[in-house]
Structure 1
Amino acid sequence: MQVLVINSGSSSIKYQLLDPDSGEMAASGLVSRIGESVAEDATTVEHRSDGRTLEHQGAIADHAAGLRIVFDLFARSGHDPRTAGLTAVGHRVVHGGEVFYRPTLIDDSVVESISELSSLAPLHNPANVTGIESARTLLPEVPQVAVFDTAFFHGLPEAAKTYAIDAKVAAAHGIRRYGFHGTSHEYVSGRAAELLGRDPAELNQIVFHLGNGASASAIRGGRAVDTTMGLTPLEGLVMGTRSGDIDPGIVPHLVRTAGLDIDGIDNLLNRDSGIKGLSGVNDFRELFRLIDTGDEAARLAYDVYVHRLRRYLGAYLVELGRVDAIIFTAGVGENNARVRADALAGLERFGIAVDPDRNESKDRAARYISPDGSEVAVLVVPTDEELAIARAAARLVA
């Protein structure tokens, strides 16, 4: 059994071909800089399979062209999806709105509905649709399944998902907390339960998905009861280039005093804020290099980042009442011991502690980083959204 997983971004396509049962990956790759002008010798596709890497160099006009190149590289590596008897193609779709809250078999009406939800995710859903349409053209006989980032948070309690604005306005425009990174939060919390040897229904967990985009969730008995991202992926934690929480009054203030229009404000908050807006960089390795040279702006950016993590940790501790596990995942969460240690520093009275040696370990597997006998297990669990999407697609098709 093989499933091709496609994650189509605005100028990129990430993909994996894998067995959803074993998790064994036959091939993976990245198409980058789609629609951009690049030099003829610039690498725009890297395809990895059977221990070797194949590359494509040169400009890629659009997503359809990118996927055609990918399929040619698949054929050269001996894993052509067109002849491999695929079980399904699984597509990551960022926003499902109120319409989609479980994996969904794709047809023309589903594509149209995902497109209509683009007003809620203008940076993501149009690109997701483009990838879907390209894959359906190349693999017309293979079932295609949409798996939605928002699905895990669809059932949030009313008090957690409702914004305190005019109810009629909210209802008319689909305004509620949707949450994102749901596939990761669901997968990681399930893996944590396996590591603990416990039934997820027995556990209260806090998950920190910390990458360039970042979110946290409170999970009670396997169900999400709160999360930091909201109507869009902008709300919540400080991120690489996104502001996270701000006073909404900042928006009209900037319109009046800085002359910014809606597009300018959107660009400011999504692309020029967060760690980048405060320090000038959004890579944590570069941020720590600046901190270690005494750069005060970098130090402040990091302090603001950790302060926001701790604020939500405290809120979720109170909301859950009892916490069995705190889990870190994604690029920063899995690889940055300094962030993990600082986020949980001084919380021993709450049963939360980090073992320095375990925390600094370079082990890439799911693992404990709390001391033996800790009341609250602190874990690092690598996320695998592609595997989760592949399994969801395979289950639906079966």
Structure 2
Amino acid sequence: MILLANIGSASKKYALADKVNGGAFQVRVAAHYEVSEISVEAYDRAHQTFLALLEAQQVQPADIDTVLMRIVAPGRYFQEHQVISDEYFVHLVEAEHTAPLHVHAQHEELVRLQEMLPQAAFVGISDTAFHATIPEYIARYAIPRSDADVYDIRKFGYHGLAISSALSRGTLLCDALPSRVIVCHLGGGGSVTAVRDGESLDTSMGTTPLDGLLMATRVGAIDPGAVLTLMEAKGMTPVQMRSYLNTESGLKGLGGSDDIRTLITLEENGNLEAKEALDAYAHRVRHYIGGAMATLGGADLIIFSGTVSERSTVMRERILSPLAGIGIKLDTNKNTAHADTQNDILLSAATSTTKIAVVHINEYEAMLDVWQSHA
């Protein structure tokens, strides 16, 4: 049996997969824990809660022989799916200071699970491997090559498993995957990815998951000069600035809340800061959609995935309505009717030059596909 662990910046997701008749693995039990919905103590014990759930269904820890963990970490070392060894742990610790929001949580979870499942083989499923196809001229930053190579500074991109799942879902909706696809994965974090013929060509995240879109608590794209000015003015260390940009910025910094639902309510009650934060969020998504269209030479399909995309009719319309002038037209009636259901759907108007889809991704399936193809 396989335990799947997907540890995000603010959530923990677990699943148990077992073989079915044909020999392929399928998810049998799954659970999702949000840091905003339970106590800190309960969140820290989420792995124990899930293993207890399995025991109640007659699955013992000793029955689990493999653990697959989604790994979100910068560096070429992590662009491959691989067995988690002592060397892997060393590299993960080294990466923790660069992308603390994800790597620290993953590191802690690995230690906890290895203590409870000492007999299991642990495999790191890379969240950046999907973006290994990004051309060198796009992946490189305009800094001296020697520094970029020595310090492993380049665009790695993230949300690879989510994007892979979104593309699979989009293929089913459209019967075949079009050549030019843009995937907008919008949740607590967010990214926009240009995909040509099923391969990543460019994406909004960079060396770390901090770049690109305005996110729940992450700043997204910002002038490096502004960062230096802030550090000097506030007397901040690099560690303090990293925390500031990762946990105090984004929607939280602009609007006072990291929850889009709260901000929508505040806006309805006349809060101008909340309105500005939501306008900025939508603008940033459109900005990167435009960049992706320029990179691809147009777009045949735009796929929206992630909790914001799935749940918020308001934000989908806010993002897409201004794009009608370039032929990307949302069917507002379909959009209003599609409120947080579990169905994948096309929401583009009949006259739209680009198809618009909302899909519900399954990263567990993507992780299992990777593992079975590499086993």
TM-score, L = length of structure 2:
0.89
Paired letter, 2:33: L
C-alpha spacing 1:170/1:317, structure 2 compared with 1 (3 Å): same
Cα distance in 2, alignment partners of residues 11 and 205 from structure 1 = 28
**Residues 292-307 of structure 1 aligned to structure 2 (within 5 Å):** 292-307=268-283
User: Is residue 269 of structure 2 the alignment partner of residue 270 of structure 1?
Assistant: no
User: Is residue 207 of structure 2 the alignment partner of residue 208 of structure 1?
Assistant: no
Structure 1 residue aligned with 2:69: 91
Contact 1:31 1:66 in 2 (8 A): no
Question: Pairwise CA RMSD of aligned residues?
Answer: 2.4
Paired letter, 1:109: E
Unaligned runs of 5+ in 1: 39-43, 46-59
User: Is residue 60 of structure 2 the alignment partner of residue 80 of structure 1?
Assistant: yes
Structure 1 residue aligned with 2:173: 195
Q: Summarize deviations over 1:316-341 as a string: whole Å, max 9, x none.
A: 11110131100111010111112111
Contact 1:96 1:151 in 2 (8 A): no
Shift of residue 234, structure 1, vs aligned partner: 0.9
Cα distance in 2, alignment partners of residues 237 and 37 from structure 1 = 28
Structure 2 residue aligned with 1:107: 85
Comparing 377-386 with 120-129, which one deviates more in the overlay? 120-129
From 212, 216, 220, give the equivalent of 1:240.
216
Shift of residue 88, structure 1, vs aligned partner: 2.7
Structure 1 residue aligned with 2:371: 393
Unaligned runs of 5+ in 2: none
Paired letter, 1:106: I
Structure 1 residue aligned with 2:31: 28
Contact 1:209 1:328 in 2 (8 A): yes
Q: Summarize deviations over 1:156-192 as a string: whole Å, max 9, x none.
A: 1112111111222221211101111111112111221
**Residues 1-398 of structure 1 aligned to structure 2 (within 5 Å):** 2-8=1-7, 13-19=12-18, 21=24, 23-30=26-33, 44=42, 67-83=47-63, 86=64, 88-95=66-73, 97-198=75-176, 200=177, 202-360=178-336, 361-362=338-339, 363-372=341-350, 374-397=352-375
C-alpha spacing 1:353/1:131, structure 2 compared with 1 (3 Å): same
Q: Summarize deviations over 1:232-278 as a string: whole Å, max 9, x none.
A: 11110011111111111012211222222223322221111111111
Query: Hey, which of these two has a bigger chunk of helix by percent?
Result: 2
Cα distance in 1, alignment partners of residues 324 and 30 from structure 2 = 44
Contact 1:184 1:383 in 2 (8 A): yes
Contact 1:96 1:149 in 2 (8 A): no
Percent identity between matched residues is 32
Paired letter, 1:26: V
Paired letter, 1:177: K
Cα distance in 2, alignment partners of residues 265 and 277 from structure 1 = 14
Shift of residue 10, structure 1, vs aligned partner: 7.2
Shift of residue 102, structure 1, vs aligned partner: 3.0
C-alpha spacing 1:349/1:281, structure 2 compared with 1 (3 Å): closer
Comparing 148-157 with 74-83, which one deviates more in the overlay? 74-83
Cα distance in 2, alignment partners of residues 9 and 321 from structure 1 = 33
